[in-house]
Amino acid sequence: MNTITDILATMDYGKAPEDSAIVRDWLKKNEAGFGHFINGRFTAPGETFEVLSPASNEVLGRVTQGSADDVDAAVKAARKAQPGWAALSGHERAKYLYAIARHVQQHSRFLAVLESLDNGKPIRESRDADVPLVARHFYHHAGWAELLEDELPGTAPHGVCGQIIPWNFPLLMLAWKVAPALAAGNTVVLKPAEYTPLTALAFAEIAAEVGLPKGVLNIVTGDGRTGASIVAHEGLDKIAFTGSTEVGRRIRRETAGTGKSLTLELGGKSPFVVFADADLDAAIEGVVDAIWFNAGQVCCAGARVLVAESVAKRFEELLEKRMRQLRVGDPLDKNTDMGAIVHPVQLDRIRGLVAQGVKEGAELVQGDAPEGCFFPPTIAMKVEPASTLATEEIFGPVATVTTFRTPEDAVALANNTRYGLAASIWSENVNLCLDIAAQLKAGVVWINCTNVFDAGAGFGGYRESGFGREGGREGMMAYLTHPKPKAKRPEAAPEAPVGQPGAAANGTGIDRTAKFYIGGKQARPDSGYAYPVQGGSGPVGLAGLGNRKDIRNAVEAAHKAKGWGKATGHNRAQVLYYVAENLSARATEFEARLVSFGASKSAARTEVETAIRRTFWYAAQADKFDGAVHQTKSAHVTLAMHEPLGVMGIACPTAQPLLGFVSLVLPAIAMGNAVVALPSQTHPLAATDLYQVFDTSDLPGGVVNIVAGERDALAKTLAEHDDVAGIWYFGTEEGGRMIEEASAGNLKQSWVEDGAARDWTGRDGQGRGFLHRATQIKNIWVPYGE
């Protein structure tokens, strides 16, 4: 028994336990095991497995291992409910989401305690971060449901969404998935992680409590096998996944060609950049929030601390001191800074990676942790970029510290990763901060703060951290679709080009050789072969037969055109207007070319005129498709910037060889991308003629590169290319499947469509949708106050 005087001698905090009696009572009521939540009620428990509390290793309950049949039942229920749910007015859906938000708030302590028991995170975090953000997310999306028709006209829900969420923020990730899906009019089959299914089941009770129509939300528990059943289910229209990059890649491959929409929020290895003029204490508290929040089990954890060499010594000193103040232990103690690791499997993984890092030369500074499923807060010094600790996502409380010399050095180190989820920048110099924010490859950039979240801002990654955003307007876009154009007859696979001399060519003019266009120069095909291009009556010319090496060269050339993405929209617009001007000057020539391919005179004229008009339209958009300032937290400016993807591959449809090319390449370059374009395989000459237009229009070399040949083979090389950030493919169904599958390598964004689906001369041929596909949104958080 502590007496007052004993405590006065030590000034210990003592224990401040959060009472868990009410939650334990709920668990006891359910000790027979939980079933799934399907069609508005819980099923009887099936084959069950234990759910453990990682901090104490006690069994909290048993949940059902979802079978393929269970998933099927859930999808059927969701399918049945979907038309009715989507048919409700936005206001009606808003009322349900609002009610959910209210009830989450009213049950907030219950949910926080349950989350901490199940996941092992400190009650401070579940109480002050997770659950309030859950409520905020439902409030925000109640608003989107209300405003859908006004704010996002012409859109429709996907239908039924399969959603698979991780164990690090179990209820929050549920909210991020469920709220926008329901707001948009989708219905949902959601699988919580097998380590942490309990708050999802409690949430199902809340959904029932507010009277959410049956079948709108279905929750199926289980492990990866259940997840695989969801991914494989043919009755789903969209898959949304948050989890590891490895599983995300598998899902990309498995959903290829199925027509399912896909968004992935994957891993990260986010840089945390501290410049010499930063408030070092602020930055150190930032590290606490970056890597010791939720024991580093955060996809956007600032795991790579990059610090200016000039302040590194003091920074490391202060950081170590601060780390030693952290209290690791019982998640339900209000004095706990860091709780348990979610599962012994994860603990082993962290230990393994850290041991490997030490073997490679890292030096560790560690705090204390109790026995059991805990890992101490850890700083790894002397970590070089090649070290395992610098490259692998540890998903634990381990920060690496590396020094840099100059801002340029910092950017190079920060971007030296496969991932691109988040970054934070610490400096009191606003010029420097924004300069670095623009250069970092990350979907979320926090300036002088870290791990700040709000439902009003988008969250999601660049590169292998996935694609799609959650939160804000951009997050709603991930759960909405524009009605897809559909072809009366799908595009047929074009005949393979044959690199042999053939029938006599038509025409009597001087022979013209269509070369490739790479890096602003005409280039001969690496293969040395050419194939005949057929016109209405026999061949009209030869086109080079491209191969892998031409693609390689074209991608390298595209990367050299770096200045284009940084040019002002006005600069790009000027070039595009000039392209239109020169295209117009040569309109008759292009019309003749199209006629030679067999087009009617009037069709040819329409195609050329539309191409000119369209070029104007994208020139006009170049300086107008801008981002937003989101309404998030007080004293924060949250900038949603549209940034180009980088280097894109574009495979054009066979029909309308000029307009198809212009309609796809122009939006991409208007937004600042550099493009490797594969023109119509059957009629590439309309596109290769264009390079003379580009040349005379001051388009910088490398911004557009053109390689003709066998579209699918070349597109596959592009899709597989690790240094291509996005690919658009307009062709056959089989080609589309192949592209989606091949894009899994670096998880590039892909857009795949039947090449015959769109009438390029009509409204389908242009629009903001193209610009959205050509950009990714970077959310930059800038807190202010002096």
Partner 1 sequence: MTTAELTDQPNALSNHPRNPGIPLDPAMFEGRAVNRSAAERRAATLTTRRSVKKTHQAAWLVNAIRCIDLTTLAGDDTEGRVQRLCAKARQPLAPRILDGLGIAEMGLTTGAVCVYPTMVPHAVKALRGTNIPVASVATGFPAGLMPLNLRLEEIRWTVDQGADEIDIVITREHVLKRDWAALYDEVAAMREACGQAHLKAILATGDIATLRNVYAASMVAMQAGADFIKTSTGKEGVNATLPVSLTMVRALRDYGDATGHRVGFKPAGGMKSAKDALAWQYLMKEELGNDWLQPDLFRLGASSMLGDIERQLEHHVTGRYAAAHRHSLA
Indicate which residues carry an active-site annotation: 265
Strands (E), 328-426: 363-366, 378-381, 398-404, 422-426
Query: Pick from 701, 656, 707: which is nearest to 679 by CA?
Result: 707
CB of 17 to partner 1, least distance (A): 8
| Options 102, 334, 349, 737; binder of partner 1; rule CB under 8 A | 334
CB of 25 to partner 1, least distance (A): 22
Q: Are 702 and 725 in contact (CB under 8 A)?
A: no
How would you classify the pairing of strands 628-630 and 636-644? antiparallel
CB of 89 to partner 1, least distance (A): 40
Stretch that binds partner 1, among 45-53, 227-235, 331-339, 657-665 (CB under 8 A): 331-339
| Options 36, 103, 121, 124; binder of partner 1; rule CB under 8 A | 124
Task: Give the footprint of partner 1 on residues 415-474 (CB under 8 A).
Answer: 428, 448-449
Q: Are 681 and 653 in contact (CB under 8 A)?
A: no
Which sign, positive or negative, has the C-alpha torsion 396, 397, 398, 404? positive
Residue that has been written with the tokens 């951009």 in this structure: 474
Q: Are 380 and 364 in contact (CB under 8 A)?
A: yes
Query: For residues 109 and 253, which CB has a smaller minimum distance to partner 1 in the complex?
Result: 109
Rg (CA), the chain: 28
**How is residue 153 written in tokens?**
């006209």
According to DSSP, residue 484 is labeled: P
Query: Residue 655's CB: how many other CB atoms inside 10 A?
Result: 18
Gap between the Cα atoms of 749 and 701, Å rounded: 24
Task: Give the footprint of partner 1 on residues 228-287 (CB under 8 A).
Answer: 277-279, 281-283, 285-286
Stretch that binds partner 1, among 88-96, 216-224, 249-257, 777-785 (CB under 8 A): 777-785
List b or e across 42-55, with b for residues whose CB sees 16 or more CB atoms inside 10 angstroms. bbebbebeebbbbb
CB of 332 to partner 1, least distance (A): 12
Query: Pick from 374, 376, 299, 389: which is nearest to 342 by CA?
Result: 374
**How is residue 13 written in tokens?**
């905090």
Residue 319, classed as helix, strand or coil, is helix
| Options 335, 522, 606, 692; binder of partner 1; rule CB under 8 A | 335
Please state, in angstroms and as integers, the Cα–Cα distance from residue 332 to each residue in 115, 123, 536, following that order.
Answer: 10, 5, 77
Query: For residues 8 and 504, which CB has a smaller minimum distance to partner 1 in the complex?
Result: 8
Stretch that binds partner 1, among 8-16, 81-89, 644-652, 679-687 (CB under 8 A): 8-16
Query: For residues 200 and 274, which CB has a smaller minimum distance to partner 1 in the complex?
Result: 274
Q: Are 287 and 378 in contact (CB under 8 A)?
A: no
Number of residues that bind partner 1 (CB under 8 A): 38
Gap between the Cα atoms of 688 and 679, Å rounded: 8
Beta bridge partners of 780: 445, 639
CB of 295 to partner 1, least distance (A): 15
| Options 128, 309, 348, 408; binder of partner 1; rule CB under 8 A | 128
Gap between the Cα atoms of 112 and 334, Å rounded: 12
Query: Pick from 40, 106, 104: which is nearest to 73 by CA?
Result: 40
Query: For residues 426 and 479, which CB has a smaller minimum distance to partner 1 in the complex?
Result: 426
Query: For residues 14 and 211, which CB has a smaller minimum distance to partner 1 in the complex?
Result: 14
Residue 635 found at the interface with partner 1 (CB under 8 A): yes
Q: Are 753 and 259 in contact (CB under 8 A)?
A: no
Stretch that binds partner 1, among 4-12, 60-68, 434-442, 501-509 (CB under 8 A): 4-12
| Options 14, 154, 211, 502; binder of partner 1; rule CB under 8 A | 14
Q: Are 757 and 274 in contact (CB under 8 A)?
A: no
172-211 footprint of partner 1 as x/- string (CB under 8 A):
----------------------------------------
Residue 8 found at the interface with partner 1 (CB under 8 A): yes
CB of 5 to partner 1, least distance (A): 6
Query: For residues 128 and 384, which CB has a smaller minimum distance to partner 1 in the complex?
Result: 128
Query: For residues 3 and 508, which CB has a smaller minimum distance to partner 1 in the complex?
Result: 3
Gap between the Cα atoms of 260 and 159, Å rounded: 10
Residue 368 found at the interface with partner 1 (CB under 8 A): no
Query: Pick from 552, 682, 663: which is nearest to 615 by CA?
Result: 663
Query: For residues 314 and 351, which CB has a smaller minimum distance to partner 1 in the complex?
Result: 314
Gap between the Cα atoms of 326 and 76, Å rounded: 48
Residue 118 found at the interface with partner 1 (CB under 8 A): no
Query: Pick from 721, 718, 723: which is nearest to 706 by CA?
Result: 718
According to DSSP, residue 327 is labeled: -
Stretch that binds partner 1, among 15-23, 294-302, 471-479, 700-708 (CB under 8 A): 15-23
Query: For residues 337 and 470, which CB has a smaller minimum distance to partner 1 in the complex?
Result: 337
Query: For residues 2 and 508, which CB has a smaller minimum distance to partner 1 in the complex?
Result: 2
How would you classify the pairing of strands 261-265 and 466-467? antiparallel
Query: For residues 283 and 719, which CB has a smaller minimum distance to partner 1 in the complex?
Result: 283
CB of 169 to partner 1, least distance (A): 18
CB of 324 to partner 1, least distance (A): 10
CB of 15 to partner 1, least distance (A): 7
| Options 153, 483, 509, 785; binder of partner 1; rule CB under 8 A | 785
- Three state DSSP letters for 629-688: EECCCCCEEEEEEEEECCEEEEECCCCCCCHHHHHHHHHHHHCCCEEEEECCCCCCHHHH
Gap between the Cα atoms of 303 and 290, Å rounded: 7
**How is residue 352 written in tokens?**
């393994």
Stretch that binds partner 1, among 5-13, 583-591, 648-656, 671-679 (CB under 8 A): 5-13
CB of 246 to partner 1, least distance (A): 34
CB of 320 to partner 1, least distance (A): 13
309-328 footprint of partner 1 as x/- string (CB under 8 A):
----------------x---
Gap between the Cα atoms of 135 and 103, Å rounded: 8
637-666 footprint of partner 1 as x/- string (CB under 8 A):
------------------------------
Query: Residue 763's CB: how many other CB atoms inside 10 A?
Result: 9
Query: For residues 109 and 737, which CB has a smaller minimum distance to partner 1 in the complex?
Result: 109
Residue 5 found at the interface with partner 1 (CB under 8 A): yes
CA 235 vs. chain centroid, Å, equals 23
Stretch that binds partner 1, among 1-9, 102-110, 417-425, 725-733 (CB under 8 A): 1-9
CB of 378 to partner 1, least distance (A): 19
Query: For residues 128 and 363, which CB has a smaller minimum distance to partner 1 in the complex?
Result: 128
CB of 786 to partner 1, least distance (A): 5
Query: Pick from 158, 160, 224, 169: which is nearest to 191 by CA?
Result: 224
Task: Give the footprint of partner 1 on residues 506-525 (CB under 8 A).
Answer: none
Residue that has been written with the tokens 């850890």 in this structure: 378
Residues lying near partner 1 in the complex (CB under 8 A) are found at 1-5, 7-8, 10-17, 124, 128, 277-279, 281-283, 285-286, 289, 325, 334-335, 337, 428, 448-449, 635, 783-786
